[in-house]
Structure 1
Amino acid sequence: MQFKAVCFDLDGTLLDSLADLADCTNQILLKRGFPEHPLDAFRYFVGDGAKMLMTRVLPEADRNETLIEECRQDFETAYRECWDKQTVPYKDIPELLDALNNRQLKLTVLSNKPHEFTLLTVKHLLPDWEFEMVLGQREGVPRKPDPAGMLEICLQLEISADSFLYLGDTATDMKTAVAAGCFPVGVLWGFRTEEELRDNGARAIVKAPLEVLDLLI
């Protein structure tokens, strides 16, 4: 198959953002008198949007829609101050993006991070590459694993889904790629395990960014 484009998940795929997400969330929990969580726990808390993040980190007995929404709003306010404290592109991501550009593949991003922050982080932390479309979680648009966002990218770029490599680090990403008809590639430098990725539809697994280039031969 001749691939024409690549769609990347953001957190855990392009950007190592776990520490900032964890610190920001733990600040909110502490202010409200709830216990903090260790960094590694956030590997399974993140990936499905801010509302689901807040749902997962709150004690089960205290979860209700009002509190979850208040914490989500608190998160979006707090994250504006801490999104770039420790977040950086993963090792060899710049080299991968350069190589994909040289091969004239179109680059896109689809994230469950709020759209505002998705645009912000890509603009400031990946400024040297042109992404044809960058989409985060938007009101009125179903979040991943619903394929709506991915299909919107395909429609706007006039590229069929089966011409896209879709790179992600979670079950949510693999399910999105499968549902949209893309080629799902699970990445092991992110937040989840190879087993999770394979169980949810990964057709290829890469241990390091530059291994993606082997899929283009």
Structure 2
Amino acid sequence: MKFKGAIFDLDGTLVNSLEDIADAMNSVLRNLNYPIHGYEDYQYFIGSGLRNLVSKSLPESHNDKKNIDSCYHLMIVEYRDNCTRKTTSYEGIIKLLDHLISQNIKLSVLSNKADALTKEITTALFPNYFQSVVGLTTEALKKPNPSEALAISKSMGLKPEEIIFLGDSGIDMQTATNANMFAVGVSWGYRPKKELIENGAKQVLDHPLDLIQFL
């Protein structure tokens, strides 16, 4: 089948945002005299939304709902002001997007990052590339729930099976499978290739331009 659309995850797929996210959370932890974490730890904290990341970052002794809520709001304020300080697109991504557009493939973004931040980063780094950009607005709709992916499919005017879903985590591969889209894992992100394959990746790319060869 000739694919007519592609949905991209954001963090770890289109952009390397690890350091900005980690710096913002560590700033909150440091101000509260909690232990901070290294970048390698945040690779496994990212993927299920920033609230979940906050919970994973907090000491177990201070991981109650009230403190998570409080620290989440502090983290959002810190991150909102610095979300594109170090964040950059991965090498080859712009060239890939240009190629896909030249082939009349419709492009969208679906992230578990808060919707406003998803839109801000995507607009700053990829102006005019994506037909729709969707971040998290409701916890119940968080990936791997396929609802938002299916809504994007409808907005594109495409059948789910005509769409490639690209992401760097098992959650992304589950989302693709749940939405009946073609699951493509990317190994340049935050999770190991083994996780992608175990969660349903039908193809794993080692570089963005490998998708051109695959197509």
| Corresponding residue of 2:89 | 89
Alignment: residue pair count: 215
- Counterpart CA distance in 1 for 2:107 and 2:180 is 17
- Counterpart CA distance in 2 for 1:188 and 1:75 is 28
5+ residue gaps, structure 2, are none
Identity %: 37
- Counterpart CA distance in 2 for 1:139 and 1:171 is 20
| Corresponding residue of 1:179 | 178
**Superposition CA RMSD, Å:** 1.0
5 Å-filtered alignment, 1:62-77, equals 62-77=62-77
Offset at 1:149?
Answer: 0.9
5 Å-filtered alignment, 1:1-217, equals 1-127=1-127, 129-139=128-138, 142-216=141-215
Tell me whether 134-143 or 185-194 shows the greater mean CA deviation: 134-143
Alpha carbons 2:97, 2:129 under 8 Å: kept: no
- Counterpart CA distance in 2 for 1:124 and 1:141 is 28
5+ residue gaps, structure 1, are none
Alpha carbons 2:184, 2:204 under 8 Å: kept: yes
- Counterpart CA distance in 1 for 2:60 and 2:152 is 36
Which runs of structure 1 show a deviation greater than 6 angstroms over 4 or more consecutive aligned residues?
Answer: none
**1:83-108 CA distance string (max 9 Å, x none):** 11110000010100010011110000
**Structure 1 length-normalised TM:** 0.97
- Counterpart CA distance in 2 for 1:19 and 1:56 is 16
- Counterpart CA distance in 2 for 1:11 and 1:199 is 20
Alpha carbons 2:132, 2:152 under 8 Å: kept: yes
- Counterpart CA distance in 1 for 2:170 and 2:118 is 20
- Counterpart CA distance in 2 for 1:85 and 1:140 is 27
- Counterpart CA distance in 1 for 2:50 and 2:207 is 27
Secondary structure of 1:209's aligned partner: coil
Secondary structure of 2:29's aligned partner: helix
- Counterpart CA distance in 2 for 1:7 and 1:139 is 19
- Counterpart CA distance in 2 for 1:214 and 1:68 is 44
